[in-house]
Structure 1
Amino acid sequence: MTALEKIFQRASADPRSIVLAEGNDPRILEAAVSATAQGIADITVLGNVDEVKALAVANELDLTSIAVLDPKTSDAADRYAQALFEKRKAKGMTEEKAAELIRDPLYYAQMMVHLGDADGSVAGAVYTTGDVVRGAIQIIGMSESSSMVSSFFLMMMSQPHHDMQGGIVFSDCGLVIDPDAQQLSQIAMSAAASAQTMLGEEPRVAMLSFSTHGSANHPAVDKVAEATRLVREQMPDLKLDGEVQFDAAIVPAIAERKVKDSQVNGQANVLVFPSLEAGNIGYKIAERIGKAEAIGPVLQGLKKPANDLSRGCSAKDVVNVIAITVLQAQNL
């Protein structure tokens, strides 16, 4: 059984309610039908009911087992608007603006999660990443254990040519552009927790750099070394190597030569990149040349799950993110 199959097995063993904000997109409807059929989630789709149903008919999709809800006519809209006003009034929110915003499916979806009417949300096939992340932070908020929201890709290694088999967390490849040492340490700790949740195994974290344990001198190396120190200070039992080069993170023989007293031993399942530039390039090389399957970007650091999609996503991609969102909800 592959790592992804295990994720779906765990999701179907304890399904959760997931709201999809973009019912006007056929990929979302196809994913809703597929996720329901696989038993991994109870799905609510947001949008104009007549338009959503017409789109389903046009694409030969049966929405019988899926709830379709229009935020503009919902009985809960007034209650949600009041909750939004109360939550954001210190930031200048008015009752009139809250009433307007809550009719937006994205804001409505995040409020469903915030108030416990859904366990998680998925959007981003139509909405931008900025919209999704902004709404999640404003309405759902950050977890008590996190000072920031970051993201990760779950890279699935299951092809015969992959020497490493299973899943690897790559973070941050989609959100934080140039983290300082404190932010990088937070990304690492969040990514370790994400690996535990997604993979069901002990996290082994490598803080990546172009240097291994001082083999080069540069402020960029110092940042990673300081972030490593901060993580060790807060999570002394975490298996962690840093700063290390990529090969020392994933090749045991190289780790043995380069990394004195290694805790990861060249078997990292969490790779923390020093910048978004490095992370984004790294995951796309792994996906396009290495033929790893990339799932994400998945948000981490929120109080409750709210996940983003690539606007170029397929229906299959959406189903994968739904399954991951269910696992996040299970682990609250």
Structure 2
Amino acid sequence: MGAAAPPYHRHQAPYPGRFKDGGLGTEPAGAGRPSPSPSPASPQRGGGRASYAGPGAARRGACCCRGQEMIGRKESCASGQLPMTYLSCLAYILEEWTAVEYLKKYFFHVVIISRSDEVKATKDPLSEVWDSARKTVASFWDIYARIWHGYELHGVENLPEGPGILVYYHGAIPIDYLYFLSRLFLWKKRLCLSVADHFVFRLPGLKLLLEVTGVMPGTREECLSALKNGHLVSISPGGVREALFSDESYQLMWGNRKGFAQVALDAKVPIIPMYTQNVREGYRMFKERRFFRKLYESTRLPFTPPYGGLPVKFRTYIGEPIPYDPNITTDELVEKTKSAVQALIKKHQTIPGSIWKALMDRFDRHRKSD
């Protein structure tokens, strides 16, 4: 009988041979266990990753060697001198993916618990302390967007270097907006602050998460402060009502909402229209909604159930900015913005929306531009 295994702690993963820095091996490769001999089919390469000094390099070299032996010869993960389970084999492969290292530390609520003290110390939830976490979450959303919706983002060059207000059409489930935020952060390392409906802030346990991701109630003072600090601020004037009760005709449901235009004039910033093609074909609401509409109007809570989740093609288009004009009125700016969003819809969307066509768009190799 062998000696009892040492207790596992957070700096040491439960795989055989793992370095304390996160690399493979609680002891250097080859210590206490046989090392695999180089395969003739996969000779060692001089100056490669395994040649770097340090335990991490030893881990990468060992992993690369095993990967070449197993995968290069198309052998089973359990074959060779060092038999491994399929789970261990998968772990070796995934360890080479940087995003997994981020995931282990920062994924979703774990990041809130693990780094809340640092954020409190900075007294700024938008601090760069959270950039690693944002990058992790953005990376996984972007992977999902690419795989499930073949997501494309067009017109990023239309975003100003400084502050501005993005105005967009609200889908039944605004997953397209999450895709946009994720890709913008990955491409430009830029955080776009989001104005959300008040019901979101009634949900328990989300306060810090909302603050860190730049979600705010959208009072005039908060929006002006964010714009003054150089941020992009996004808002859907239709909000929850548009999400619940618009349909495949893609009608805007802004009502009498003018606050975004007044803030743009007060802050002297441009307004940038934005729209995602096929967003209503990805998720839809049921046709009979009179009961749910009465319920929403009385409670302001979104009880209407959506359906869908289909892998339709999503393309987000950012239109040309509407520059600040001191001579324009609030009502005129609202109408100008509405016309700009409607123009994007008319240009890029089949109306009424068709789920079948939206699915077929996945096979359209022609990349549409602005």
TM-score bracket, shorter-length normalisation:
under 0.3
Task: Calculate the TM-score normalised by the size of structure 2.
Answer: 0.25
Structure with higher strand content: 1
Structure scoring higher RCO (CA < 8 A, sep ≥ 6) equals: 1
Task: Calculate the TM-score normalised by the size of structure 1.
Answer: 0.27
